[in-house]
Every structure is written in C-alpha cells, then in structure tokens.
Amino acid sequence: MPIGQTSSVMALRDPDIRLMLRVRDDDDAAFAELVERFQNRLVAVMHHLVGSMHEAEDLAQEVFLRVYRIRKKYRPKAKFSTWLFTIANNLALNALRNRKRRPVLPLELRESSQDDGRPADHAAQDLGETPSAGLRHRELAEVIRFALDSLNERQRVAIVLNKFEDMNYCEIADVMGLSTKAVKSLLSRARTSLREALRGYIYMDGEPPPPAAEEDES
C-alpha cells in the first residue's frame, strides 16, 4: 500500500500502530502504555537470545528508548511488532557480536548455577543421580539453552522469532532484512543443528522413539 493514504487505514486495523502514532505525537502516556504492552514479549525474546535476565532487560529497555528517540520518524507501514522487532533484532545482534569480541567468560553472561556453561549430566552422575532418571525441567532447560547458544546469532534470532513470536518466514525476513528464501535456509540449518544437539533428549517423556529413528540420517 502506498504510504501516503495508509496511515489512518492501518491504524484502524492495528491498535499498536494507533498507540505508536500517539507516541509519535509526544503523548507520553501512550509511550508508557506501549512499554507496558510489549515489555513481556521483548524481555522474553531478549532473554532467549542472550540468556541473561539482566542483559535482556537492558536490551529491552534500549529498544524502548530507541523507539522513543526515533518516534518522529515512525511511518506506519507494516505490523507494528515487525517494526519493533526490527529494532530489537539490530540491538540484539550488535550485543551478541560485541559479546563475541569481548574476551568474556560465558559464565559472566549466565545466571544458572553452573560453572562452565555446559549441560550438567556428568556432574549429576558424580552426585549419585543419573541423568535419565533425575533429569528435571531445569536441567533440560540448561541443555536446551546450551543448544540454542551454540547456534550462530542470526540463526538464534530467526529461531526465537519463529518459535516464541510466532512469526512466519515473511515477517522474519522483514525484521532481519533478508529474503524469505534466506530465512528458510537459516531456519533449516538452525533446526537441524538443534535436532543434533537435542537428539538424546527428545524421547525423554517415556514415549518410545519410532523404529527408524536411529537410522534417520543419511
């Protein structure tokens, strides 16, 4: 849709856009509402991306502040959340890349009680528990966290948007500034990596694996 005539039409359809237009017009109450409305989603997404609550909140806050700073430039053209997550994507990717450049221990970025950032199965055995019997949600979450962390940054963003923001390939492409095809292959690689990393855990709910599962890979 051409931009000129769309603003009011779109705004009617998307209450978030309506809200953002009020923010654009210096309505601070609207901005407060916007923060209120999106804080849970943004913090959750950031947490999935960076793994630390503290950093996730800092990043989410930075997203909101950036929205505020550039509010005058806001032109409604897609779903508001796409615009918001485009900003979030840029900030998160920068943060993840900076982190890579900085010589920090992964530990610093984690809040889990673990010391080495690895799944804890052998340590569990040291303490007399077997991973298959005593593996709890938290440990499983650590394993999954580790698998997610082993993806590259862009794969991680694509996965998190797809999985937790329920975005389709086209929306992810918009947010990440890629083609739909590129998103498709990004997600494919990410999800095959996840499958490899989590192979040992996917039949832990007691259901037997299908017969051909052990030779499913060529």
Partner 1 sequence: MIDDEPEPDPVDAELIAYLDGELEASEARSLEDRLDADPKLRARAEGLKRSYDLLDFLPKPEPSPTFATRTMDKIPASGAKPAVSDSSATTTTPAPHSSLALTQVQSRSEFPWAVAAGLFVAVGLALGVGYLGTAALRTFVFPPAEPREPSTDSLTVAEVRVIANLPLYAAADDFEYLTQLASPEFFGDELDAPPWLLPSQPLEVEKPADPELQTLFRAYRELPAERQEKIRTMDQRIHALEPPKRDRMLRLLETYAAWLHRLPESDRKDVLTATSSNKRLEAVREALLKQWIAALPAVHRAKLKGLPAEDKAQLLAKLRADDEKQRTEWTVARIQWESIRTNKQPWPFTDESMRKSVIEYVRAVYKPDDPRRARLSTLGPDGGDAARLKDALDRADKGEWALLGKAVYDFSRKYEMLPEPAKGAPIVDYSDLSPWPGIVKVMEKRPKLNRAVEQAVGKWPDFALAVHAEIGNKPFATFNTLKLGPCQMDEFKDDFRRGFGELRRKLNEAEISALKTLEGTWPNYPRELVRLAKVHDVSLPGVMPPGPPNLWEKTYNSPRQPMRPGG
Footprint on residues 109-168 left by partner 1 (CB under 8 A): 113-116, 118, 120, 123-124, 126-129, 134, 136-141, 144-145, 148, 152, 154, 159, 162-164, 168
| Shortest separation between residue 198's beta carbon and partner 1, angstroms | 4
Q: What is the CA radius of gyration of the chain?
A: 20
Q: Of 18-77, which residues contact partner 1 (CB under 8 A)? A: 26, 28-29, 31-32, 35-36, 39-40, 43-44, 47-48, 53, 56-57, 60-61, 64-65, 68-69
Rounded distance between C-alpha atoms, residue 75 and residue 91, angstroms? 20
Our CB check for partner 1 shows the closer of 1 and 40 to be 40
Place of tokens 């485009």: 86
| Shortest separation between residue 189's beta carbon and partner 1, angstroms | 5
Our CB check for partner 1 shows the closer of 10 and 142 to be 142
Our CB check for partner 1 shows the closer of 3 and 138 to be 138
Rounded distance between C-alpha atoms, residue 40 and residue 65, angstroms? 16
| Shortest separation between residue 10's beta carbon and partner 1, angstroms | 24
| Shortest separation between residue 164's beta carbon and partner 1, angstroms | 8
Q: Please count the other Cβ atoms lying within 10 Å of the Cβ belonging to residue 162.
A: 19
213 alpha carbon, distance to own chain's centre: 29
Interface pattern 165-204 for partner 1 (x via CB under 8 A): ---xx--------x---x-xxxxxx-xx-xx-xxx-xxx-
Q: What is the dihedral of CA 6, 12, 13, 19, to 10 degrees?
A: 100
Regarding 105 and contact with partner 1 (CB under 8 A), the answer is no
For residue 26 the two structure tokens come to: 């210096």
Our CB check for partner 1 shows the closer of 9 and 150 to be 150
Q: Is 188 helix (H, G, I), strand (E, B) or coil?
A: helix
Can you give the length of the chain in residues?
218
| Shortest separation between residue 160's beta carbon and partner 1, angstroms | 9
Our CB check for partner 1 shows the closer of 31 and 80 to be 31
The amino acid at residue 180 is T
Best CA proximity match to 80, nearest among 165, 153, 180: 165
